Each structure stands twice: as structure tokens, then as C-alpha cells.
Amino acid sequence: MRPLSGRIFCDTSFFFACLEQRDVNHQKALGLLKNCADSNAVFWTTWDVVSETVTLLRIKSGYGLSMDFVRRVIPTLHLAATGETMRREALDVFQRFAKDKKLSLCDCMSYVVLTTSLEGIPTATFDSHFGMMGLPVLK
């Protein structure tokens, strides 16, 4: 795996795989996490992803893992600012593409952020929708 540097956008599927040992992508996520840490990469995400991750961890993995994320991971993240204009754009993306692609509204917000304020930075994700939307994805 080549060294990573700069900013990395993190999706719910990446965070979940890092923390949930039963996830099929757990080992890949840990390898990617180590590579990012060794390269001093800076992790970016949105409040939408944080909310979705806490909820998914709480439902699928229990209170303990969700609180590990809240206490240990969230304080280390850079959160991309989103406002009313971006929320409206995310709803527009959802209306245009979610019927065929089964996107979540959170995915649509990530798309808006990654094509505007964080344009061009790669995403740590195991969600195929990011690649289908033409966004750069770490392998």
C-alpha cells in the first residue's frame, strides 16, 4: 500500500469497519488506518457521517462501541462545514439519483462536500456508491 498524505474524507462504512471486528472489511480498514496514521493524514468528515456512524454502531454493535467512537474518534476529526445551501444541494442530489442508486441522504451530503469544499480529496469508504458517483476512493 502506497503512503497516503494530506486530507482523507472518512465515510460511515470506514469508521464502522475500523471499530467492528465482525465487519468483513475490518482488516482492510485497520490497514488503511495504519497507513493514514503513518503518513500523518488528516481525517475529514461531516456531522452527517458522524451521526450516521454513532447510530449504526449503537444499533449494530452496542453502546460500548458507539461511545468509543464518540469519546476517542470524534475529537480527532476535522468536520467540514455544511449549511443551508449544501443541505438543499444534497436534497437535490438525492432527488436526482437516489431512486436508481439507493443512496442515503448522508451519501448525498458527502457528495456535495466532496465536490465543493473538499474537492478532489480521496475517501476512505467501503460503500460502492462513492465510486459510482465518480468520487476518488482509496483502495
pLDDT for residue 66 = 97
Q: Is residue 2's pLDDT more than 80? A: no
SS3 content of the chain, % helix, strand, coil (to 5): 60, 10, 30
Predicted TM-score (pTM) of this structure: 0.93
pLDDT in tens, 42-101: 999 999 999 999 999 999 999 999 999 999 999 999 999 999 999 999 999 999 988 888
pLDDT at 137: 94
Reply yes or no on whether the pLDDT at 4 is more than 60. Answer: no
Residue 102's pLDDT band (cuts 50, 70, 90): confident
pLDDT for residue 5: 59
DSSP of 8-60, one letter per residue? EEE-HHHHHHHH-TTSTTHHHHHHHHHHHHHTTPEEEE-HHHHHHHHHHHHHH
Joined grid coordinates for residue 101: 442508486
Q: Which CATH architecture has domain 7-81+120-131?
A: 3-Layer(aba) Sandwich (3.40)
Mean pLDDT for all residues in the chain: 93
* Residues 122-136, mean pLDDT to the nearest whole number: 93
Task: Return the pLDDT at 3.
Answer: 46
Domain boundaries, the chain: 7-81+120-131
Q: Pick 23 or 102 by higher pLDDT.
A: 23
